[in-house]
Chain A
Amino acid sequence: LSLQSPLLAVAEAEIRNEADAQRIEAGGKLDLNNIGVRAFQQFPGMYPYLASKIVLGGPYDSVDDVLKLDLSDRQREVFEQYKENFTVTPPRDALNEGDDRINNGIYR
C-alpha cells in the first residue's frame, strides 16, 4: 500500500484539486478506493458492517476485488445487488489520509 507522492512531483505538476479530479474520473459512480463509510448509507444492508469492511480492505484494482474479502454469504449477495453503482479509481491521499474515510468530521 503506497500512498505517498513525492514533494517534488507535486511542485512540478499542474496545480489541480485532487477531490475534483477524483469526482470526474469516477464519472458519477461511487469510488471504492476513495469514498467514506457514510456514502454506503444509501444502500440498505451495507452500512456500517459491509461498508467498513470495504473501506478497510482496500485499495482495489477492480470492483470485483471486494469479493476477495472475508465476507458472509449475505454480504456477498448485498454487494452483488448494488455493484453497478460502484467504480474504482486510484486511491488519493487527499481523501484517504487522516482516517477521513472512517470519519471526516462532517455530520449531517
Chain B
Amino acid sequence: ADLGTLTYDQIKDTGLANKCLSLKESARGTIPLEAGKKYALTDLCLEPQEFFVKEEPGNKRQKAEFVPGKVLTRYTSSLDQVYGDLALKADGTVSFTEKGGIDFQAITVLLPGGEEVPFLFTVKGLVASTSEPATSINTSTDLRGGYRVPSYRTSNFLDPKARGLTTGYESAVAIPSAGDAEDLTKENVKRFVTGQGEISLAVSKVDGATGEVAGVFTAIQPSDTDMGGKEAVDVKLVGQFYGRIEPADA
C-alpha cells in the first residue's frame, strides 16, 4: 500500500507505521553516479523481519549457530528517515556514510527457551561501500560496512538497586557487607559498552526515474550487556530496506 495516501487514523494502531515503503517488482532501472558529484541517500528505512540470536552450543561437538527468535517489540522495530552522503570514492567504489535520522530502536527478541534478548538495533556511523568499482546503483549493487552499537542503556540509567554510571549508588545498599564483594564488581561498576555491528544492503529494486531503491538487508551486531554486567551475544537481523538517492546541493 502507498503509505502516503493514508490518513493518521488509518495508520494508528495497525502497525503500518513500522513498515517501510516498497517498490514494484517492475522497478529494475539504474541510477547513474558521476565521479566528483555529491549524492545523498535519504529517507533510508530499515524494517527487520527476521531475528536470530547466536546461541553457544550445549556441547563441544556442536557449532554456535543463529537461532530464530520472536520479536516482542513488534510495532517499534524499524529505523526510518536515516540520511547520509553517497559518493564515488577515489578507487571507484560507491560509499554511503550515515549522518543521522531515526537511527536506533530498542528491540527485544524472545528465544525458544524463554530467554529474552534485548539489543539496540542501529546503523549509527555506518560507512557502507561496494566491493567493486561501480558507476551506478543497480539491481546487483551490494553495500557492506560497519557501524557503531552504543550501549542499550545510557549513563543515567539506574538499575533495580539504584546503581548507575553517572549517578546512583555504588553498590546495593541493602546488603552493606557485600558492598565491595569482588564477584559483584561487574554489577556495581557500570560500564558503557560500545560495540561494532556489520550490515550488508543488497539492492534488488531500483526506480531510475524517482531515484528510489529497495532491497534486502542483513545485519549482525552485539546485544545489550546490561551495562557491562554480562557478555553480549550476536544478533542477526534480516529485513527490507528502502531509500531515495538524490543529487546533493553544493
Residues of A in contact (CB 8 Å), total: 22
**Which among A6, A15, A97, A105 is the interface contact of B192 at CB below 8 angstroms?**
A97
- B163 to nearest A CB, angstroms? 10
**Which among B150, B186, B190, B231 is the interface contact of A97 at CB below 8 angstroms?**
B150
The SS class assigned to the B binding surface is loop
Contact indicator A4/B165 (Cβ below 8 Å): no
Contact indicator A19/B155 (Cβ below 8 Å): yes
The SS class assigned to the A binding surface is loop
Contact indicator B196/A10 (Cβ below 8 Å): no
Given contacts A7-B222, A7-B232, contact A94 B192 (CB under 8 A): yes
A81 within 8 A of B: no
Residues of B in contact (CB 8 Å), total: 24
Task: Give the distance in Å from the alpha carbon of A77 to the alpha carbon of B189 in the complex.
Answer: 41
Within A19-43, which residues are at the interface with B (CB < 8 Å)?
19
Find chain B residues with CB under 8 A from A72 CB.
Answer: none
Find chain A residues with CB under 8 A from B154 CB.
Answer: 97-98, 100, 104
Given contacts A3-B148, A7-B222, contact A93 B194 (CB under 8 A): yes
A18 within 8 A of B: yes
Find chain A residues with CB under 8 A from B125 CB.
Answer: 3-4
**Which among A7, A10, A18 is the interface contact of B165 at CB below 8 angstroms?**
A18
Contact indicator A4/B166 (Cβ below 8 Å): no
Task: Give the distance in Å from the alpha carbon of A79 to the alpha carbon of B189 in the complex.
Answer: 36
Q: What mask results when residues 91 to 108 of chain A are scored 1 for a CB within 8 Å of chain B, else 0?
A: 011110110100011100
Q: Which residues of A contact B (CB under 8 A)?
A: 3-7, 10-11, 15-19, 92-95, 97-98, 100, 104-106
Pick 30 A–B contacts, CB within 8 A, sort by A. A3-B148, A3-B194, A4-B196, A5-B194, A7-B196, A7-B222, A10-B191, A11-B231, A15-B189, A15-B191, A16-B189, A17-B191, A18-B165, A19-B155, A19-B165, A93-B150, A93-B192, A93-B194, A94-B151, A94-B155, A94-B166, A95-B166, A97-B154, A97-B194, A98-B150, A98-B154, A104-B155, A104-B156, A104-B166, A106-B167
Q: Which residues of B contact A (CB under 8 A)?
A: 125, 148, 150-151, 154-156, 165-167, 185-186, 189-196, 222, 228, 231-232
